[in-house]
Amino acid sequence: MSIDARLAAWGPRVTALAAFVLFAVLAPPGPAWLDAGELGTAGVGLGVPHASGYPLWCVLAKVASLLPLGELAWRIHLLSALTGALAVLWTARLVI
C-alpha cells in the first residue's frame, strides 16, 4: 500500500478522532449560553427548537439523554462533539 493510499484511508479518520477529542475536552460540563439550552431542552423533550426543527439532531439528543453518563447537558454536548467530528470526517474524505 502506497503512502498516498494510506493517507487517503487513515487521514480522515485520524483527523475526525482528533476533532472529537478536542470537541469533547472543550465541551462545557453544564448548560452553555445562546442556543445550547434551547436545543438541549427541545432534544430531551422531542420539541421543535427553531423553524427548521433539526429533527435528526433532536431524536439523537433524546437517545443521548437516556445514556447513564455524567450530567444531562454534558451528554448533549458530547452528541454535538460526535456530530461535529462526523462532519470533519466527511469533509476530510472529500478533500483528501
What local confidence, expressed as pLDDT, does residue 45 receive?
86
| pLDDT of 3 strictly over 90 | no
Please tell me the predicted confidence (pLDDT) of residue 33: 80
Residue 29 has pLDDT above 80, yes or no: yes
Which candidate, 45, 42, 27, places its Cα nearest to that of 84? 27
Averaged pLDDT of the chain: 88
- 18: pLDDT strictly greater than 90: yes
pTM of the full structure: 0.84
Ramachandran region, residue 71 (left: φ > 0; alpha: ψ -120 to 50; beta: rest): beta
Is 89:10 a contact under the CB 8 Å cutoff?
no
Give the Cβ contact number of residue 75 at 10 Å.
Answer: 21
Q: Which pLDDT belongs to residue 42?
A: 84
- The predicted model gives 50-79 an average pLDDT of 89
